[in-house]
C-alpha cells in the first residue's frame, strides 16, 4: 500500500474510533442506568420475598388458631385414655367461614395468594432487569474490544507510514 492509501485508511479508522468512543460514553451511561434498575429490582424482590414470608407465617398462625376451634372432619378423638373414636363433623371439608378463626384463615390465605403473586412479578421484573444489564454490559465490552482493535490497527498503520516515509 502506498503512503497515501495508508493515510486514507488511518483517517477512516480514526473517524470510526472517534465514533466508537462517543458510543462508549453513551454506553457507560446506559450501563449505569441499567445497573441501577437491576439493583432497584433486586431490592424490590427482596422486599416482596420478606413480605411473602411474613404473610405465609401469618397464614400458618391463622391455620393453627382455626384448628384449635374448628370441628375436624373424620377426626380421631380420644374419648378416654387409650380409647379412640372417629368423630364425624357436621361441616364439610374445608374452612368454616362462620367461625371468626375460619374467616381469619380465609383472609390469610387470600393475602398469601396476593403476596406470592407480587413476589412472582418482582422476580420477573428482576430477571428482566438483570438480563438487560447483562446484555448492555456485554455490548459495551464488545465496543471496548473494537476500540482496542482500532487503536492497534492505527498503531500498525502509523509504523507502516513511518517506514513508507523513510523509503526512497
pLDDT tens by residue, 120-162 = 999 999 999 999 999 999 999 999 999 999 999 999 999 998 8
User: Residue 88: its pLDDT value, please?
Assistant: 62
CA dist 7 and 72 (Å) reads: 91
Reported confidence tier of residue 62, pLDDT bands at 50, 70, 90: very high
pLDDT in tens, 10-52: 999 999 999 999 999 999 999 999 999 999 999 999 999 999 9
Tell me what the mean pLDDT of segment 86-113 comes to. 82
User: Residue 56: its pLDDT value, please?
Assistant: 95
Whole-model pTM: value is 0.73
Per domain, the residue ranges of the chain are: 3-69+96-166
Domain spanning 3-69+96-166, CATH class: mainly alpha
Reported confidence tier of residue 53, pLDDT bands at 50, 70, 90: very high
pLDDT at 60 over 80: yes
For cell 384463615, what's the residue? 105
Considering just the CA atoms, what is the radius of gyration of the chain in Å? 35
Amino acid at each position: 500500500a502506498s503512503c497515501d492509501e495508508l493515510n486514507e485508511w488511518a483517517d477512516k479508522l480514526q473517524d470510526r474510533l472517534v465514533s466508537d468512543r462517543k458510543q462508549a460514553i453513551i454506553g457507560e451511561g446506559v450501563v449505569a442506568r441499567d445497573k441501577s434498575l437491576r439493583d432497584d429490582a433486586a431490592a424490590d424482590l427482596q422486599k416482596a420475598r420478606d413480605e411473602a414470608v411474613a404473610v405465609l407465617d401469618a397464614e400458618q398462625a391463622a391455620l393453627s388458631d382455626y384448628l384449635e376451634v374448628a370441628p375436624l372432619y373424620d377426626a380421631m378423638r380420644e374419648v378416654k385414655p387409650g380409647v379412640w373414636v372417629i368423630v364425624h363433623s357436621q361441616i364439610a371439608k374445608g374452612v368454616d367461614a362462620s367461625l371468626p378463626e375460619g374467616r381469619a384463615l380465609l383472609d390469610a390465605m387470600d393475602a398469601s395468594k396476593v403476596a406470592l403473586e407480587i413476589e412472582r412479578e418482582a422476580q420477573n421484573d428482576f430477571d428482566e432487569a438483570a438480563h438487560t444489564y447483562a446484555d448492555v454490559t456485554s455490548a459495551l465490552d464488545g465496543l471496548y474490544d473494537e476500540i482496542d482493535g482500532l487503536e492497534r490497527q492505527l498503531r500498525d498503520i502509523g509504523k507502516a507510514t513511518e517506514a513508507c516515509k523513510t523509503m526512497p
